[in-house]
Amino acid sequence: MGQRLELQALLKTFTLNVYFQPPANVEMKYPAIVYKRARADTQFAGNKPYRYTKRYQVTLITEDPDDPIHDELASLPMCLHDRFFTANDLNHDVFNLYF
């Protein structure tokens, strides 16, 4: 759990509105970062796992399509931009972040 809290603290350096797996009834403030566990990758050596890395799906939700937070998230190590979409007049950038 400590590792996820480290990620939470890192994401809060971009915006204070950070939500981990928020329920549907949470009213968010924007810009917001929503993140959740996605999967994990395991690398093996000698038929045994030696590296296990969790992947998180991190979504930046903003009213501004050119919000500079996008570039800051994209520059994180082990972070890949996955897709962009709009919904409810808000811009969503989805990243996969190994942390």
Domain boundaries, the chain: 2-98
DSSP conformational letter for 18: E
**Per-residue pLDDT at 37:** 94
For the cut 70, the answer to whether the pLDDT of residue 77 exceeds it is yes
Judge contact between 35 and 18, C-beta under 8 A. Answer: yes
Q: Which CATH architecture has domain 2-98?
A: 2-Layer Sandwich (3.30)
pLDDT tens-digit readout, 9-63: 999 999 999 999 998 898 999 999 999 999 888 899 988 888 888 999 999 999 9
Instruction: Give bridge partners of residue 54 from the DSSP assignment.
Output: 40
For residue 52, the surrounding DSSP H or E stretch is strand 48-62
Band the pLDDT of 67: cuts 50, 70, 90: very high
